[in-house]
Amino acid sequence: MYSVQLNENNIVVGIMSFPPQDKNQIAVPEFDDSLLGLQYVNGQFVDPEPVSNE
50 domain-assigned: no
In terms of C-beta distances under 8 Å and separation of at least 24 residues, what long-range contacts does 20-29 make, across chains too? 27/1, 27/2, 27/3, 28/2, 28/3, 28/4, 29/1, 29/2
How many domains would you assign to the chain? Answer: 1
Contact between 38 and 46 (Cβ < 8 Å):
yes
Distance CA 13, CA 9 (A): 10
For residue 5, what pLDDT band results from cuts at 50, 70 and 90?
very high
49 domain-assigned: no
Q: What is the pLDDT of residue 54?
A: 64
Q: What is the pLDDT of residue 27?
A: 97
pLDDT tens digits, one per residue of 6-54: 999 999 999 999 999 999 999 999 999 999 999 999 999 999 987 676 6
Distance CA 3, CA 31 (A): 8
Query: Whole domain around residue 8: which residue ranges?
Result: 2-42
Q: What is residue 27's DSSP assignment?
A: E
Q: What is the pLDDT of residue 35?
A: 98
51 vs 1, more confident: 1
